[in-house]
């Protein structure tokens, strides 16, 4: 659908970390906008609106649990978004929010995350990489262009009612941009960079791009298991991702805090 001239949408692309959400929250304080699109499941849409009007964050989390809108532990699924949601609560009813992620896709992502954790445990115990199982699991979510198109259509439809819109996305925002910029004025802001993809994220991206050899699957899964055992388990995911980025981008003079445009 075409959107009337004069309306714009800013696309903020960030890594899937709570630290980047803090940076996004700080950035939004300086921006004027009427609607905000959050990369949360659409089933949370009404509850997020209720939360901004009258709830404490802790009550919001409990309500998500009561309504069974996210898998347990709910806090873990919301950790990435907590800094941003708390900041938005200060704005209250000043802006309209929309959760735009496809519910079925999120359910699949959650299922894959759980099964991937079980595979890590299995392969760690056996000492063998179950390449066929990993391929079957990850290819189940490898092709998402149709989903991205539907999400873009939803964003375009709802944003047509406002002049200044902002949409938050993880790195799938690159695909969203291709659809959105065809219909309305769109700008892009990267926050939380530089960032180095984890081994499993690299494998997912390569699977989306085309066929991946069994040898490459074994290599990246082995790196992923090592990443989990040596960095995530003894510390936590946020710290592990930060240290992984610094390790892999050791050559970058500002690996811990520099932001740069990727396109």
Question: What tokens does 136 get?
Answer: 């079957």
Rounded to an integer, the average pLDDT of 227-237 is 92
Specify the residue for token string 């938050």: 168
Question: What tokens does 85 get?
Answer: 């949601």
pLDDT digits (tens, 9 = 90+) for 31-78: 999 999 999 999 999 999 999 988 899 999 999 999 999 998 899 999
- Residues 33, 165: contact at Cβ < 8 Å? yes
Q: How far apart are CA 4 and CA 155, in angstroms?
A: 14
Rounded to an integer, the average pLDDT of 242-247 is 88
- Residues 143, 208: contact at Cβ < 8 Å? yes
Question: What tokens does 30 get?
Answer: 């300086």
Question: What tokens does 53 get?
Answer: 């009007």
Half-sphere exposure of 102 (CA within 13 A, CB side): 16
pLDDT digits (tens, 9 = 90+) for 169-206: 999 888 899 999 999 999 999 999 889 999 999 999 89
Rounded to an integer, the average pLDDT of 5-19 is 90
Beta-ladder partners of 168: 12
**What is the per-residue pLDDT for 122?**
95
Beta-ladder partners of 190: 13
Calculate ∠ Cα 198-204-210, nearest 5°: 135
pLDDT digits (tens, 9 = 90+) for 111-122: 899 999 999 999
Tally of residues, the chain: 263
**What is the per-residue pLDDT for 256?**
47
**What is the per-residue pLDDT for 230?**
93
Q: Which of 37, 35, 18 is nearest to 169 (CA)?
A: 37
Domain extents in the chain: 8-248
Q: How far apart are CA 253 and CA 220, in angstroms?
A: 26
**What is the per-residue pLDDT for 250?**
60
**What is the per-residue pLDDT for 259?**
41
pLDDT digits (tens, 9 = 90+) for 100-157: 999 988 888 888 999 999 999 999 999 999 999 999 898 876 655 578 889 999 999 9
Indicate the pLDDT class of residue 95, thresholds 50, 70 and 90. Answer: confident
**What is the per-residue pLDDT for 57?**
94
Indicate the pLDDT class of residue 261, thresholds 50, 70 and 90. Answer: very low
3-state helix, strand, coil in the chain (%, to 5): 55, 10, 30
């Amino acid at each position: 659908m075409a959107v009337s001239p004069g309306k714009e949408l800013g696309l903020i692309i960030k890594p899937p970390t709570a630290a980047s959400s803090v940076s996004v929250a700080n950035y939004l304080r300086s921006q004027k906008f009427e609607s905000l699109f959050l990369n949360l499941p659409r089933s949370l849409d009404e509850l997020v609106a209720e939360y901004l009007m009258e709830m404490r964050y802790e009550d919001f989390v409990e309500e998500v649990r009561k309504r069974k809108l996210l898998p347990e532990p709910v806090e873990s699924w919301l950790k990435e978004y907590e800094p941003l949601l708390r900041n938005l609560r200060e704005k209250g009813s000043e802006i309209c929010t929309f959760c735009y992620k496809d519910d079925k896709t999120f359910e699949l992502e959650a299922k894959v995350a759980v099964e991937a954790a079980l595979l890590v445990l299995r392969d760690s115990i056996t000492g063998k990489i179950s390449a066929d199982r990993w391929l079957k699991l990850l290819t189940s979510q490898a092709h998402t262009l149709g989903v991205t198109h539907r999400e873009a259509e939803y964003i375009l439809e709802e944003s047509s009612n406002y002049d200044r819109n902002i949409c938050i996305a993880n790195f799938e925002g690159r695909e969203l941009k291709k659809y959105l910029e065809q219909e309305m004025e769109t700008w892009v802001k990267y926050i939380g960079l530089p960032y180095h993809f984890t081994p499993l994220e690299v494998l997912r991206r390569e699977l989306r791009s085309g066929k991946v050899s069994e040898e490459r699957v074994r290599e990246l899964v082995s790196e992923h298991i090592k990443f989990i055992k040596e960095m995530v388990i003894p510390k936590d995911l946020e710290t592990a991702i930060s240290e992984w980025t610094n390790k892999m981008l050791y050559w970058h003079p500002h690996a811990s805090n520099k932001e740069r445009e990727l396109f």
